[in-house]
Amino acid sequence: MRAQSEALSEHGYPEELTRRQLGDEDQQDIRWVDGPPAAFAPIVIVEPDPAWPAEYERERAKIVDALGDLIVRVEHVGSTSVPGLPAKPIIDIDVQVPDSADESAYVPALTVAGYRHVLREPWWNGHRMLVRTGVNVHVFQAGSPEPLRHLLFRDWLRSHPDDRDLYAAAKRRLAIETADDPDSYNLDKNGVIDDVYSRIFSVPPHEHPSWPAGGAS
């Protein structure tokens, strides 16, 4: 994290943005709305699919129809949002709402739209997750740092093919190495992710396409 700290001092990024937030080990067992899965399926990484952006647009329309003006921002994130990047064939969507703790404001509407509430992580940017086959909807507190981190990472990989390929190689390798423990896949990616973020935070904030006009909130 040294490089990120140096970038912070040089370019003035907020510490809560440059610092990767870790989950609370004491709360991991209670994050599952209906209890943890009996087992995690091995990670499958597939070649990039040009249909992924259109799949996102269809899901986005469904979410916007369900939540309307409650949405502060909705974005396609994760590996399927980066052209040319191999990925798990799952569309990840970040939805920011004014108060993610008020689940009654959005969970029932998204349930009617076909999504199932599976995760509740209020200690991590107010995160909730709802899913349906092939889609993960991540609901965050508006203005929290994690959705902006996701956008900075996405846009960096879109415009820096060397880091995109570095990340792709790590994903393929870790999918094989974690075959017997798929739940560790995301944690094991943190090394290469932190490496990429060190370069993201080595340039001035205004050079990022997703940087808020008024600065990070």
Task: Let me know: does 173 contact 163? Beta carbons within 8 Å.
Answer: no
In a domain, 155, yes or no: yes
- Work out the average pLDDT over 138-149: 97
Report percent pLDDT > 70 for the chain: 90
DSSP line for 22-87 = PP-GGGGGG-BTT---S-PPPP--B---TTHHHHHHHHHHHHHHHHGGG-SEEEEESGGGSTT--B
31: domain CATH number is 3.30.460.10
Task: Let me know: does 126 contact 112? Beta carbons within 8 Å.
Answer: no
CA 135 to CA 157: how far, in whole Å? 21
- Paired tokens of 182: 């798929």
Closest CA to 48 of 209, 163, 172: 172
CA 113 to CA 79: how far, in whole Å? 24
- Work out the average pLDDT over 176-201: 92
In a domain, 212, yes or no: no
pLDDT in tens, 66-124: 999 999 999 999 999 999 999 999 999 999 999 999 999 999 999 999 999 999 999 99
Cβ contacts of 7 within 8 Å, gap of 6 or more? 13, 18, 198, 201, 202
pLDDT in tens, 19-78: 987 655 556 667 888 877 777 888 999 999 999 999 999 999 999 999 999 999 999 999
pLDDT of residue 39: 76
pLDDT band at 217 (very low <50, low <70, confident <90, very high): low
Number of domains into which the chain is organized:
1
In a domain, 214, yes or no: no
Report percent pLDDT > 90 for the chain: 77
pLDDT band at 183 (very low <50, low <70, confident <90, very high): confident
Task: Let me know: does 175 contact 47? Beta carbons within 8 Å.
Answer: no
In a domain, 20, yes or no: no
- Work out the average pLDDT over 198-206: 96
Cα 139 to chain center, whole Å? 10
In DSSP terms, 77 is beta-bridged to 92
Range of the domain at 180: 2-14+26-207
